[in-house]
Amino acid sequence: MTILITGAAGFIGANFVLDWLAQTQETVVNLDKLTYAGNLETLASVQGDARHIFVQGDIGDSALVARLLAQHRPRAVINFAAESHVDRSIHSPDDFIQTNIVGTFRLLEAVRGYWGNLPADDKAAFRLLHVSTDEVYGSLAAGDAAFTEQHRYEPNSPYSASKAASDHLVRAYHHTYGLPVLTTNCSNNYGPYHFPEKLIPLMIVNALAGKPLPVYGDGMQIRDWLYVKDHCSAIRRVLEAGQLGEVYNIGGWNEKPNIEIVHTVCALLDELRPKADGSSYRTQISYVKDRPGHDRRYAIDASKIERELGWKPFETFETGIRKTVQWYLANPEWVVNVQSGAYRDWVQTQYASTAEA
């Protein structure tokens, strides 16, 4: 048995691969373009494992995807592949349109062709799980109810608009062609192997380096926070038992303003890696001009997945953030390499013989 995972060298995808291979003997075909945020060093522990087949490539390469499907005959495809950083989407939206919309379309077409030719039993068992974001729902006011699966799409950034478009394509392929799809919309993930442009790893890395801790606007933008390993377990559960064509919101039930996140990280670093002069890392906080169109609040109502599939997060924010800070303190070499680009050299030496053209 085999599954094909796209974007599986990125933060969430790589964590999913590590969790999957720790719990099953099923082979993973890992298709990743290796953009700046794709890092095979994250998957060093499974380098050489026959159950992990890495292929460098783009979901928009229809011929490559079709070839991989025909060669490996996966029972499922999980699509993590996406450009996902809001700030980058504001400055360079084209990459987001190409990967998140055009790439998803081409992936759907390749999967539709493969699925349509499967034997009846395999066809009935096949699944395509599309991983998306709560940002497609737009922004909530302070007193609004959290996002449910019925919430209207109101994306406010090029990133969230491109993900909304990909969600609609996935839905359309189910209703038009009968493609057996599942969609998940998750809240902000955090945890090990997170690229240090995102809030939590950026605060950790900058704090340890003695750099300013930049906080947008007043820091009161509210997000729901989900530990990445909890997200992985939810995706496994949706793949296993989700109803075809359905959407499942995945959240951590942890709504917190950004400034509280920064204060929590500083407090943990004060405890676990105190500064030599005895001062708090909070002194490095620097408020900066807010980004254009910054959504004020996201909140996920994860009742459906708990009610229908029996899933709920294992970690509280307090346990998850402590594990995250401890991981970054224990793995400074990963941070240095991902920032320097040294991991790209590692890819060449470690995977040159196994990557497929």
Q: What backbone phi and psi angles, to 5 degrees, belong to 31?
A: -105, 115
- Select which of 137, 159, 227, 281 is catalytic: 159
Active site residue 135: yes
- Select which of 32, 134, 224, 315 is catalytic: 134
Distance CA 181, CA 199 (A): 31
Distance CA 162, CA 93 (A): 9
Would you say 250 and 186 are in contact if contact means Cβ atoms under 8 Å apart?
yes
> Which pairing describes strands 213-216 and 247-250: parallel, antiparallel, or unpaired?
unpaired
Nearest Cα neighbor of 28 from 56, 53, 65, 49 is: 53
Supply 222's token pair.
Answer: 């509210």
Distance CA 19, CA 15 (A): 6
Active site residue 134: yes
Distance CA 181, CA 76 (A): 10
> Which pairing describes strands 181-186 and 188-190: parallel, antiparallel, or unpaired?
unpaired
Distance CA 58, CA 94 (A): 15
Going 129 to 135 to 139 to 142, the CA torsion angle's sign is: positive
Distance CA 147, CA 224 (A): 11
For residue 231, the Cα-to-chain-centroid distance in whole angstroms is 9
- Select which of 135, 255, 295, 315 is catalytic: 135
The set of catalytic residues is 134-135, 159
